[in-house]
Structure 1
Amino acid sequence: MNAANLSRLLLLAALWGGSFLFMRIAAPVLGAVPTAFGRVVLGTAGLLGVVALMRLPLAFHGKFRATLVLGAINSGVPFLMFAFAARILPAGYSAILNATTPLMGVAIGALAFGEALTWPKALGVFVGLMGVVILTGAGPIAMTAATLWGVVACLVATACYGLAGFLTKRWISQRGGLDSRIVALGSQLGAVVLLLPFAIWDTATHPVAWREVTATVWLSMLVMGLLCTSLAYVLYFKLIAEVGPMKALTVTFLIPLFGVLWGALVLDEATTTAHALGGGLIAAALWLVLRPSAVSQPQPPVRT
């Protein structure tokens, strides 16, 4: 990997790791639904700008409905789940739990798509689960019902990412393919459609005191939508084109490091042995699942 692509990889990891910081800032103030909805609206706007600047034709070739459904699964539900978790969990927790995405892909592939479950993959899933248990049970925040629900929300999000990888192959790749930037735009539109009724309901039942929202919260939303979503999509697809999907997926190992780093630097979140042990086990699990000899399933997205 040359210097330019390594820089892209590090920037992508910093952006996706930073998304957990910005959700942690915005979600407790705005609520989970407005945070997730605002992110996908801004992400859609940013991707529309990218498509316009690159003069890409808005041609979905009969796959528009598929991209909308993929967006609901791959962006709408996960962003909402992570925003819900951000009201409860430190940013570093969510960033580490996000790394279970490939493990979810292995489990879903074996259960629903007939993928072979080899011993390294099975061991990887088990080791990853142990990492989640250690992080949850021995971390710096008390184990409560709310904490547990936050962890469950993160795992629901990563399960959606894992499922979306297989559905993308079935609905897009095996039907002739589609420009990845158009898929990204369609998926964000799908997330907007999914979250819109929830946003309307939430606004009606839990109105936000918008005048009291600080500039920090608004800036966090802008950065999360335009940089951590729109720009991150462009970087990710550029990396896939330049170095291939396997090397691009090494960003999965780096996201937790940046997520924990940003949380500690900006929000003074504690870093403990549980972060190292739990995160280390999840990293080992990722190596077992993603090592070249073990890869046969379509690689699930790692977007955050």
Structure 2
Amino acid sequence: MAPAPPAPTPATSSRLDWLLFILLGFLWGSSYLFIKIGVDAGLQPFTLVAMRLLVGFALLGVVVAAARERLPRNPRMYGHLLVMAAFSVAIPFSLITWAEQSVDSTLASVLNGSVPLFVIVIAAVFLRDEPISVNRLAGLALGFIGVAILVGFDPADLVGGNLTAKLALIGSSLSYAIGGVYARRMVHGLRPMIPALFQVGFALVMVAVLALIFERPLRIPLRPDAILAIIWLGLLGSGAAYLLFFRLLGNWGATRTSMVAYLLPVFGIVLGAVVLAEEIDAGLLVGTALVIGGIALVNARWGSRPLFGTRATTVAKPQG
């Protein structure tokens, strides 16, 4: 019998976690590319979202069952998980997918990377331990200038629907932020995989109903690119990515793991340009730099003394 492999050292474990961190950024950042591939292949927005959630829910269900995770006993907790499913999954997934019918995946990835900026504003109002500080004000100002540059104003947008799509992407970021703050305030005492399972499951029901109402007859093109988009988004973007996220959350904590937000625009821009030949102009690069710089300022130790509230903490940014 072969000898057992040596136990991983802290250094080896750290290197593995960093590799998983980069992989997580790639999986979530590539979701925008595969959403674009899916809608361009003829999948309707609600249908694509429902299909990816169905695949993701199946994977998460198997993992939760294998781990014998305990389900919540408090009936009210399911109500909180339902709200989280709406704001953290169903609404943002649907808005992003609908918007990518009109805009490039690169722009979608960058605008969605602004979620931490919206979290700052909402958390300052509803969470006592998330005050506004000097660095957060500076980060908000810089980040929202970047968002304004990315949205811009082109008269052609009013005709082509691009402006509405850009506003939908901003709405998805706002929805993610509301869901994250709600979870911080209302959902406690659960192992992380349980909220993930119920968020995806409840959101699946919501979006499936919308698809049946607004997209009948349902069309699922039996094209390789459409099938690839569903499988990638379901198994990897909505399933495996959660597993990586919760491993890192357990090893690193929320603050360090939340830094994956920096990788999403990077992978989104590179993949959109390389795979779909999407144009990268100066406005996209400048806006991206300002958004990432704003997030960096928000999480910086400099100027973290609160202007009001109790203490400054780093905002985590989980993705769907």
Q: TM-score, normalised by structure 1?
A: 0.90
Q: Is the 8 A contact 1:172 1:178 kept in 2?
A: yes
Q: Secondary structure at the match of 1:30?
A: coil
1:301 paired to 2:317: yes
1:108 positional shift: 1.2
Alignment partners' CA distance in 1, 2:195 and 2:225 = 31
Q: Distance in 2 between matches of 1:213 and 1:76?
A: 24
Match of 2:140 in 1: 125
Q: Distance in 1 between matches of 2:158 and 2:31?
A: 25
* Paired letter, 2:190: L
Q: 1:209 to 1:160 in 2, by over 3 A?
A: closer
- Does the C-alpha gap of structure 1 residues 203 and 216 become closer, same or farther in structure 2, counting only changes over 3 Å? same
235, 241, 250: which is aligned to 1:232? 241
1-structure distance, mates of 2:247, 2:16: 11
Aligned twin of 1:97: 111
Contact 2:135 2:300 in 1 (8 A): no
1:86 aligns with 2:125: no
Partner amino acid, structure 2, of 1:7: L
Of residues 190, 196, 201 in structure 1, which corresponds to 2:208? 196
Report the structure, 1 or 2, having the larger helix content: 1
- The residue that corresponds to 1:106 in the other structure is 120
Report the 3-state secondary structure (helix = DSSP H, G, I; strand = E; otherwise coil) of the residue aligned with 1:249: helix
* Contact kept? 1:106, 1:297, Cα under 8 Å: no
Q: Which runs of 5+ in 2 are unaligned?
A: 1-10, 305-310
**Could you tell me which of 13, 17, 25 is aligned with 2:37?**
25
Alignment of 1:1-150 (within 5 A): 2-28=14-40, 29-57=42-70, 59-62=71-74, 63-113=77-127, 115-137=130-152, 143-144=157-158, 146-150=161-165
Q: CA deviation at 1:7?
A: 0.5
The answer to whether the aligner puts 1:285 opposite 2:313 as a matched pair is no
Which amino acid in structure 2 is aligned with residue 128 of structure 1? Answer: G
Q: Over residues 267-296 of structure 1, what are the superposed CA-to-partner deviations in whole Å (9 max), with x where a residue is unaligned?
A: 111112222210000011001112246483
Largest Rg, 1 or 2: 2
Instruction: Give the distance between the partners of 1:143 and 1:124, measured in 2 at CA.
Output: 28
1:34 aligned partner, one-letter code: T
Q: How far is 1:119 from its partner?
A: 2.4
Indicate whether 1:172 and 2:181 are aligned: no
Instruction: Give the distance between the partners of 1:44 and 1:160, measured in 2 at CA.
Output: 21
Q: Cα offset for 1:101?
A: 0.6
2:307 corresponds to: none
